[in-house]
C-alpha cells in the first residue's frame, strides 16, 4: 500500500522557554521528540514530509542527517495547521494514495496503533479518518462533535467552542488518514474565520462532509499515546509514561528490573532474558544487551553499546559506543568509550579509556583482546590495542600497543621516609 506521512514540526514551542532548541528537538532518553514520531511511521510509510518553520535549519539538519526517506518542507509564514499541510501539495500533485498526518511533538504514539488506525480507515472505506480519544479533562483540545446518528460532524477548537461543546470529553488526537486524491482540494479552500485567524487542519472535516465524502473517527483506547509536549513539565511526564510502559514490556519478556521507579531504559534498547538491571541505572539511545547480564546499580549506557551474554557492568560505570563481549566484567567506577572488549576480559575498578583528544577534537579506539586483565586505576590512552592474555598492572598509563600474554605496568618506585610524620609534629 502506498502511504506517505506529513509530520507537523514548524511550531515555535513558546512554553518550552528555550532560546536554542526547537520544541521537536528536545529529547527523551537521548532521542528527539521528532525522532520518535518519524521512527514510528517510517516502517508504515514510504516517504515522510516534515513541515519545518521555527529553527528550520536545525530541524532540517536533524532530518537530513538521520533519515534517508524523509524530506523537509518549509512553512513560512506559519498560518496554522491547515496551511502547514498545504505546503506539501506541490510535492503530492499527482499522488493518489493515503496520507498520514501527525504532530512532531507526540512521541508516545505507537507503530502498532498507527497500523490499526489505517486498517480502520480502509475497512470503513473512509475518505478521511481522524483519530480521537477520551479525556476526563479535555481543556485545550479540539472537541469531536458527532451527528445524532453518532457519525462525525466536525471538530471545534477550544477557543471557538460553545459551553455545551466544551463539555464534550472526546477530543481530537491530531492524527489523520486521508485519501489524498479526494481531500487535497480542501487545502486550497480553507478559511480563516475563527478566533485565531488561522487555517485550521480540523476544517477539512466539515469540508469533507460538505462534499458528501465518507468521514469517520477512530477512538484511541490509550489516551497517553497522543500526549503532546508543550512545556518542560509535559516533557517530564511523557518521559515517565514512556519509561514505565517499556520497563513493563521488558519485565514481561523476562528481564528483571529491580526498582522500576529509579531505572530508565530507552525504547531503542534491546535486552535478553534473565538479565538483571539494578537500581538507578540510566540507559539511553540505541543499545543491545544480551542474556544473563548484570547492569548497575548506578550504571550509565549512553548509546551505541553492545553487551553480549553473561557480562557484568558494575556500579557507577559509564559506557558509550563500545562492544563488550561475553563473560567480561567491567568493574565499578570505570569509563569505557569507543572501545572493543573481548571475551573473559576483566576491567579493574577506576579504569579509564582516554578516547578523546581535545587538541584535534578526535576520538580514537581502544581494543582489548580476549582474556586481558586490567588492574585498577589504569588509563588506556587511545588509539591502543592490548593483545590476548596480557595483564596490565594497577595504576598504569598505557600509551602504546602491548603484545600478547605480556605484563605491562608503569609505576614509580615506592619511597618511604621514616619518621616523616613524627618530625613534622615536633
* Active-site position among 83, 121, 300, 332: 332
332 is an active site residue: yes
State which H helix or E strand residue 362 sits in.
strand 362-363
CB 293 within 8 A of CB 272: yes
The cell 501527525 sits on which residue?
102
Listed residue (293, 294, 377, 305) closest to 339, CA to CA:
305
Q: For residues 375 and 386, give the distance between their C-alpha atoms in angstroms, rounded to a whole number.
A: 13
- CB neighbour list of residue 355: distance below 8 Å, 6 or more residues apart: 337, 338, 339, 363, 364, 365, 366, 382
Q: For residues 154 and 156, give the distance between their C-alpha atoms in angstroms, rounded to a whole number.
A: 7
Q: For residues 234 and 306, give the distance between their C-alpha atoms in angstroms, rounded to a whole number.
A: 31
As annotated, the active-site residues are 332
Amino acid at each position: 500500500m502506498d502511504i506517505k506521512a506529513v509530520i507537523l514540526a514548524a511550531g515555535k514551542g513558546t512554553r518550552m522557554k528555550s532560546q536554542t532548541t526547537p520544541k521537536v528537538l528536545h529529547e527523551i532518553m537521548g532521542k528527539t521528540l521528532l525522532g520518535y514520531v518519524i521512527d514510528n511511521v517510517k516502517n508504515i510509510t514510504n516517504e515522510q514530509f516534515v513541515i519545518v518553520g521555527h529553527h528550520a535549519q536545525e530541524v532540517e539538519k536533524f532530518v537530513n542527517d538521520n533519515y534517508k526517506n524523509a524530506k523537509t518542507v518549509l512553512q513560512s509564514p506559519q498560518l496554522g495547521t491547515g496551511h502547514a499541510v498545504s505546503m506539501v501539495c506541490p510535492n503530492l500533485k499527482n499522488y493518489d494514495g493515503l496520507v498520514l498526518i501527525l504532530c512532531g511533538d507526540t512521541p508516545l504514539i505507537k507503530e502498532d496503533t498507527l497500523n490499526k488506525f489505517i486498517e480502520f480507515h480502509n475497512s470503513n472505506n473512509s475518505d478521511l479518518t481522524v483519530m480521537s480519544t477520551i479525556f476526563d479533562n479535555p481543556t485545550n483540545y479540539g472537541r469531536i462533535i458527532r451527528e445524532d446518528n453518532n457519525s462525525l460532524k466536525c471538530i471545534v477548537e477550544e477557543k471557538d467552542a460553545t459551553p455545551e461543546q466544551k463539555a464534550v470529553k472526546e477530543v481530537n488526537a491530531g492524527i489523520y488518514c486521508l485519501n489524498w486524491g479526494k481531500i487535497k482540494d480542501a487545502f486550497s479552500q480553507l478559511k480563516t474565520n475563527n478566533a485565531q485567524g488561522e487555517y485550521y487542519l480540523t476544517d477539512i472535516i466539515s469540508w469533507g462532509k460538505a462534499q458528501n465524502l465518507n468521514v469517520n473517527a477512530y477512538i484511541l483506547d490509550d489516551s497517553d499515546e497522543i500526549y503532546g509536549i508543550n512545556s518542560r513539565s509535559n516533557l517530564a511526564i511523557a518521559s515517565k509514561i514512556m519509561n514505565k510502559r517499556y520497563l513493563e514490556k521488558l519485565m514481561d519478556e523476562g528481564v528483571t528490573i529491580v526498582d522500576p521507579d529509579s531505572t530508565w531504559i530507552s525504547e531503542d534498547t534491546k535486552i535478553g532474558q534473565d538479565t538483571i538491571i539494578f537500581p538507578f541505572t540510566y540507559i539511553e539511545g540505541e543499545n543491545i544487551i544480551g542474556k544473563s547480564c548484570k547492569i548497575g546499580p548506578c550504571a550509565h549506557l549512553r548509546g551505541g553499546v553492545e553487551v553480549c551474554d553473561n557480562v557484568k557492568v558494575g556500579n557507577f560505570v559509564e559506557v558509550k559506543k563500545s562492544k563488550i563481549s561475553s563473560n567480561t566484567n567491567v568493574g565499578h567506577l570505570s569509563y569505557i568509550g569507543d572501545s572493543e572488549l573481548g571475551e573473559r576480559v576483566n576491567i579493574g575498578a577506576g579504569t579509564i579509556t582516554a578516547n578523546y583528544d581535545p587538541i584535534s577534537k578526535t576520538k580514537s579506539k581502544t581494543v582489548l583482546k580476549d582474556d586481558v586483565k586490567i588492574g585498577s586505576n589504569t588509563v588506556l590512552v587511545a588509539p591502543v590495542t592490548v593483545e590476548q592474555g596480557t595483564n596490565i598492572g594497577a595504576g598504569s598509563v598505557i600509551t602504546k600497543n602491548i603484545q600478547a600474554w605480556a605484563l605491562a605496568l608503569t609505576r614509580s618506585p615506592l619511597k618511604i621516609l621514616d619518621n616523616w610524620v613524627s618530625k613534622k609534629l615536633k
